[in-house]
């Protein structure tokens, strides 16, 4: 198939970016934006599509996803709504046996997770979960070096994620954790997934802790930055963010208001079936780009491999040898080049020439681990993991 008809459910920031990449793909496949289902209105959507230089002259606009799928003949559907809607919409797509690109997290509570798992077990079409990290050149190279340099078996991992855009989770819609399910599901879902992929073992136990120390306060609920008397001096506000630090604004709401959800740091410890364990930690108040970090230190019987997407660097050190091997995996594309690989994989899946490199099973496993981590943090207890898809 050199031409593919796509329907998008929830044409927001993230899927708009992914669809735009799909539309302008390098594989010579013509992509038709056959339909969009989004309640935000045609005018708004057309403005975005015009900016993205996407032809929408034959696009049909819907506000009901089932109506869209019943009326249109689609080769693929992309779901890019906010997190709380992913599961129910995904089930509707799977029932129609249409290849699906699904934003993460795939589910935000246990009930959704069970429903999606049941639908996934019966599904006859593939799902590409939006997990760019697991398929980055960085992770491929790390796995390759672990093998070629006899680093394994892996016996310990310390992974970290200090984004500089953490303000997003308190200044805009992400601050409502009833929509996101909290920041393990929002962020750690990516990291736990790529770690599972590197470790290649079944996780069996988890414990976690979260804290909210900085992104909180007693400013009135719903306060917008523009209405705050401290807007010219507040380090988090758009004035300082854009005009002083030259960064982008994270949103219009006050992160020091009494109604921000979400912890501002969290740590997970996972035991895997061999008995080894992994620690992963994330925080959302690192503003300085030079302090940003995302990667891991992987220690095996033969040595240690360290990598960081922020520096693009991998360092390998063998236990009984002096010196080190350093290499860079530089990519200009977003998410370490993972997004473009997701897009190409989704094209292959729709054409029937590839299977998903980020399948639903992995999306469910990672969401399950995040939910168990949340449960552990809330109850101050270790929690057993027993996820089975089949
Ligand atoms: N994989 C990644 O790396 C990555 C990165 C960023 C965001 N995300 C995920 O993408 C999702 C969307 O985030 P965003 O920042 O693009 O949000 P957004 O608000 O920009 O987009 C959501 C869109 O869904 C639409 N919508 C709302 N209700 C709908 C409904 N019932 N049916 C159809 N459409 C509906 C909204 O109008 C909006 O256009 C989130 O779940 C987020 O976790 C993933």
Strand, helix or coil at 172? Answer: coil
Judge whether 3-131+338-358 and 134-332+368-384 match in fold: no
Q: How many CB atoms lie within 10 A of CB 120?
A: 19
**Atom 6, ligand 1: residue with shortest CA distance:** 14
Distance CA 38, CA 82 (A): 11
* Kind of pairing between the strands at 203-211 and 383-384: antiparallel
**Domain 3-131+338-358, CATH number (from 3.40.50.300, 3.40.50.720, 2.60.40.420, 3.30.70.260):** 3.40.50.720
Atom from ligand 1 closest to the CA of residue 86: 41
Q: What is the mean pLDDT of the chain?
A: 96
| Residue 10 beta carbon below 6 angstroms from any ligand 1 atom | yes
In the chain, what are the domain boundaries?
3-131+338-358, 134-332+368-384
CATH architecture of 134-332+368-384: 2-Layer Sandwich (3.30)
Q: How confident is the model at residue 107 (pLDDT cuts 50, 70, 90)?
A: very high
Radius of gyration for the alpha carbons in the chain, expressed in angstroms and rounded: 21
> How does pLDDT run across 160-209, given as a tens digit for each residue?
999 989 999 999 999 999 999 999 999 999 999 999 999 999 999 999 99
Atom from ligand 1 closest to the CA of residue 14: 16
Atom from ligand 1 closest to the CA of residue 12: 21
The overall pTM is greater than 0.95: yes
| Residue 210 beta carbon below 6 angstroms from any ligand 1 atom | no
pLDDT at 1: 64
143 Cα: distance to centroid of ligand 1 (angstroms): 32
Say which residue the tokens 């360290």 belong to: 306
User: Is the per-residue pLDDT at 363 higher than 90?
Assistant: yes
Question: Is the alpha carbon torsion for 85, 89, 90, 91 positive or negative?
Answer: positive
Bond before 153 cis per omega within 30 degrees:
yes
**Atom 21, ligand 1: residue with shortest CA distance:** 12
> How does pLDDT run across 137-153, given as a tens digit for each residue?
999 999 999 999 999 99
**Atom 5, ligand 1: residue with shortest CA distance:** 14
Atom from ligand 1 closest to the CA of residue 186: 43
| Residue 367 beta carbon below 6 angstroms from any ligand 1 atom | no
Residue spans of alpha helices (H) in the chain: 13-23, 42-51, 65-71, 86-95, 110-122, 137-148, 168-171, 177-180, 183, 189-199, 238, 338-351, 360-379
């Amino acid at each position: 198939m050199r031409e593919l008809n796509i329907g998008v459910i929830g044409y927001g920031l993230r899927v708009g970016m992914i669809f735009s990449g799909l539309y302008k793909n390098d594989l010579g496949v013509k992509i038709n934006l056959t339909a969009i289902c989004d309640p935000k209105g045609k005018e708004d959507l057309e403005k975005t599509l015009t900016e993205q230089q996407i032809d929408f002259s034959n696009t049909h606009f819907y506000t009901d996803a089932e109506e869209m799928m019943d009326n249109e003949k689609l080769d693929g559907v992309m779901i890019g709504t906010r997190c709380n809607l992913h599961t129910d919409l995904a089930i509707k797509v799977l029932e129609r046996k249409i290849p699906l690109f699904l934003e993460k997290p795939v589910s935000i509570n246990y009930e959704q997770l069970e429903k999606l798992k049941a639908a996934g077990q019966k599904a006859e079409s593939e799902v590409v979960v939006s997990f760019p990290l697991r398929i980055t050149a960085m992770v491929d190279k790390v796995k390759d070096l672990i093998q070629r340099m006899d680093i394994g078996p892996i016996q310990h991992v310390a992974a970290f994620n200090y984004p500089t855009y953490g303000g997003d989770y308190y200044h805009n819609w992400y601050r409502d954790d009833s929509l996101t399910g909290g920041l393990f599901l929002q962020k750690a879902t990516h990291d736990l997934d790529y770690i599972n992929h590197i470790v290649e073992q079944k996780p069996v136990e988890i414990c976690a802790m979260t804290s909210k120390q900085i992104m909180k306060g007693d400013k009135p609920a719903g306060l917008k930055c523009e209405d705050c008397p401290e807007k010219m001096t507040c380090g988090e506000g758009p004035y300082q963010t854009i005009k002083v630090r030259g960064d982008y604004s994270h949103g219009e709401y006050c992160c020091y208001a009494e109604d921000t959800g979400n912890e501002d740091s969290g740590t997970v410890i996972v035991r895997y079936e061999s008995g080894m364990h992994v620690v992963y930690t994330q925080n959302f108040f690192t503003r300085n780009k030079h302090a940003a970090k995302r990667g891991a230190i992987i220690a095996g019987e033969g040595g240690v491999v360290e990598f960081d997407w922020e520096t693009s660097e991998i360092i390998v050190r063998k236990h009984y040898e002096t010196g080190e091997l350093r290499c860079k995996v530089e990519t200009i594309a977003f998410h370490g080049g993972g997004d473009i690989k997701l897009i190409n994989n989704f094209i292959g899946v729709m054409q029937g020439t590839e299977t998903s490199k980020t399948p639903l099973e992995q999306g469910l496993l990672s969401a399950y681990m995040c939910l168990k981590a949340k449960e552990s943090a809330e109850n101050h207890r270790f929690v057993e993991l027993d996820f089975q898809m089949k």
